[in-house]
Amino acid sequence: MTSPWTFDSVLVANRGEIARRVIRTVQRLGLKAVAVYSEADASLPFVTEADEGVLLGAAAPAQSYLDVAKVLEAAEQSGAQAIHPGYGFLSENAHFARAVADAGLVWIGPSPQAIVAMGDKVAARNLVGDAGVPVAPGTREPVADVQAALVAARSVGYPLMVKAAGGGGGIGMSVARDEEELATAFATAQSRAERFFGNPSILLERYVTSARHVEVQILGLSGGRVVALGERDCSVQRRHQKVAEETPCPVLTPPLRARMIEAAVRAGEAVGYRGAGTVEFLLDPASLASGGEFYFLEMNARLQVEHPITELVTGIDLVEQQLLAASDLPATFDPDAVVPSGHAIELRVYAEDPKRFLPSPGTISHWVEPAGPGVRVDAGYAQGDTVTPYYDPLLAKLCVHGPDRPAALELARAAVASFEIEGLKTNLPFFTELLANEEFIAGVYDTGLIDRMRAPKPGVST
């Protein structure tokens, strides 16, 4: 029988839990899964579970997971015909996407043109704004220096978000409430943008105080249609980086949700999006009483860390849909009949100090995952594995799915209590705190929640 796929083997250009998760779907579909790994990761589960593994090089990302030539050599050596980049590393690198295509391989992701368009935050703002997507007041061109920033700020208005035009993950991002703070924030953001992304360009945007971070999962299907699979609330953040997510967003009304989903689809259509992507918005909670106002934040041209909770409420395997779109095959669901069911929560379990959120590498001496109906764990490690300081310290994503939000919260509490990890520090104690927090339980939190949780209590010395 002739296979409908345009490839029969997929190289997963990533590591840890996301590599393991992609490998699982690739193998379920009857395709060969090839892992690439660094010397530091040689014994991790994603390597041993793949059909084949290829060593890239030393532990440092620049000598392994970020080395385009080595990844392409690994594809040639293994006979892989397609490359899935996961998230992070090379996933939003247009040069890599082009190199994959130039090598005669299938790129499982959006086009290089879409990656470029969405990778530059200034260009992305202008593109989606011109397509009718709400954007916050901000600069239409990158700001060259502090003096230009001070001039631009007078028309945009304070408070301002100062952020790297070509970055992501909260890196190179800070808030300025006046000219003095802007001068300091600009210098810091520009330095970090240059160091992490090789691009010193800076964007200024009006800062929404006490905002909620809400994103919409989109899929660009093989026929060119862009569909939305619901939203996720990602407002529980530390240092602008997500820690917990849930779907649906507890405060969205049906009309507001419809507007947000329509805007996300419009953004995807504006760039001719294909595959899985996420359109992120800032929602102003103060506007909810009058219908709700939201603004485009950015578009992630890849699979998101938090994609499992969308899978839990829709029953749709997003990695499978990525593979289908890349192979010019139709989706396995009816785009007009997607109705999310129940409530799902994801907690990102890190090897880090639960108070200060600083990385805590070490060897895992004991590991027992929670299990049972409604519980899903996407883990990158197991008992006996060592968490090194070379990469993001994400250990696992603990996800739960219940018939409603109260049920999901109860499941999450039980799952956190039964997740046993010893040998290094983890942020599991923080999640016990979070799930007992009155703001979070009520669903009325915003991106400042963790800062408030960690603020010194009156009369208590620190």
Give me the active site residues, please: 302
Q: Of 170, 80, 263, 196, whose CA–CA distance to 450 is shortest?
A: 170
Query: Do residues 81 and 8 touch, judged by C-beta distance below 8 A?
Result: yes
Residue reference for tokens 């395997």: 317
CA pair distance 253, 455, nearest whole angstrom: 31
CA pair distance 304, 287, nearest whole angstrom: 27
- The 10 Å Cβ neighbour count of residue 287 is 13
Q: Of 390, 397, 224, 212, whose CA–CA distance to 303 is shortest?
A: 397
CA pair distance 84, 398, nearest whole angstrom: 23
Strand ranges across the sheet with 9-12: 52-57, 32-38, 9-12, 82-84, 106-107
CA pair distance 71, 76, nearest whole angstrom: 9
Residue reference for tokens 């299990």: 371
Crossing angle between the packed helical segments 94-102 and 68-78, to the nearest 10 degrees:
30
CB proximity list for 373: less than 8 A, separation 6 or greater:
none
